[in-house]
Structure 1
């Protein structure tokens, strides 16, 4: 039995299905490579699942400036599929949830944000600096607006990473709480246990939807950040 509800986020508290975090990530990336069916005449079941996801994220990327940046669309779309698989595999019982940790989400969001910023600065430094000051602002307000805009741009990778990690962590914590109460009520109340089991099943379905939605929001915000690129 786990000592507290946060023990599910510690990979060394118990033996998980994937004891090595590096092996777990490699397995996710291998699954992405296996679903590439360009060599086959008929699409497989995996490609049938992946194709709508690809079309969804490419439709969003085509509405932003990221589709004009070489390689950005491919990277973000691949990240979208990998995040979905990692989030879904984190729903397996007694499995270490990688996407619920800030160090993992920050390792995805920070390089993308930094690459957009450096690419914009190298392409047109003047236009990049101009983004720090909105148009039409009064002169006496310009110093404060520059500070606010600079702060908002700098904290983007932190807010992006915190959003994904916090939402995935909250879901696993709620499932742990409901599971603990369900186990406690097993020998005391049959009606309470039945209600908790139904609640758990409903929340598990809701958590599966959260896994898809949070991966989409993560990539959606990355694509929106590309609109600040100088062009």
Structure 2
């Protein structure tokens, strides 16, 4: 018996045979290894068709980084561009049945958002501590308002990794929960032989799958875009 909605993605809680449970568990592990296997194509000397396709999102993120001050931070572009590709592939693994993408877990998203944000903060303070602290106070503010503005700006900077990670995890979880509910409802219509309503809802379900494909790319882009925008506050 499933305890909550997230349990529908856990094959160990589904009442099936032991062989089917083992197969579903193996499928989950293989699905989460897909991004790693896909990125391995870049290790070939001659570019393959797969590597050429995978290089498109990295080129897009390289262009985005070139429009920000993050391009002057050593190694920033080399981290954000592969991360963009990795998040896209990770988000798409959720389209596999009974697989909840790793990016829907807060621990996974925090493992990327928190270290990168902290690295930017440490690098900025090490580069110029005066510029780093001066950025906490907006220009042209009245003197009596300075303590409150400094406190508000400090809080907004401190919550950045949490909001960054929560946004990706929440959006990916919500999207795939809706996808699972639609799939369950359509299957129930087929079982009760309600063919007319099944024919009506099936195109909507297929359209939502395409929407989730686009959403996986958009959420990965927003995650990396915000990181590139955070680099704008880096002291130079």
Shared fold by TM > 0.5? yes
Contiguous gaps of at least 5 residues in structure 1:
none
Contact map agreement 1:5 1:176 (CA 8 A) in 2 = no
Structure 1 counterpart of 2:39: 32
For residues 102 and 201 of structure 1, do their structure 2 counterparts lie closer, same or farther at Cα, with a shift above 3 Å needed?
Answer: same
User: Counting helix residues as a fraction of each chain, which structure ranks higher?
Assistant: 2
Structure 2 counterpart of 1:225: 230
Structure 2 counterpart of 1:7: 7
For residues 122 and 88 of structure 1, do their structure 2 counterparts lie closer, same or farther at Cα, with a shift above 3 Å needed?
Answer: same
Question: Of residues 164, 173, 179 in structure 2, which corresponds to 1:175?
Answer: 179
Question: Of residues 197, 204, 211 in structure 2, which corresponds to 1:199?
Answer: 204
Provide Cα deviations, 1:153-178, integer angstroms capped at 9, x if missing partner.
00000010011111101111111111
SS in 2 for 1:47: helix
Shifted more, 182-191 versus 153-162: the winner is 182-191
For residues 180 and 47 of structure 1, do their structure 2 counterparts lie closer, same or farther at Cα, with a shift above 3 Å needed?
Answer: same
Q: Does 2:69 align with 1:65?
A: yes
1:94 Cα deviation after fit: 1.9
Question: Of residues 129, 141, 145 in structure 2, which corresponds to 1:141?
Answer: 145
Provide Cα deviations, 1:55-91, integer angstroms capped at 9, x if missing partner.
1000000011111111110011111111111111221
Provide Cα deviations, 1:2-35, integer angstroms capped at 9, x if missing partner.
56432245575454354676x7655522321223
Structure 1 counterpart of 2:218: 213
Equivalenced residue count is 227
Q: CA RMSD in A?
A: 2.1
Q: Runs in 1 of length 4+ with deviation above 3 angstroms?
A: 1-4, 8-21, 23-27
Contiguous gaps of at least 5 residues in structure 2:
15-20
SS in 1 for 2:95: coil
For 1:9-158, what aligned pairs fall within 5 Å after superposition? Answer: 10=10, 13=13, 15=21, 16-18=24-26, 25-37=32-44, 39-40=45-46, 43-158=47-162
Shifted more, 169-178 versus 3-12: the winner is 3-12
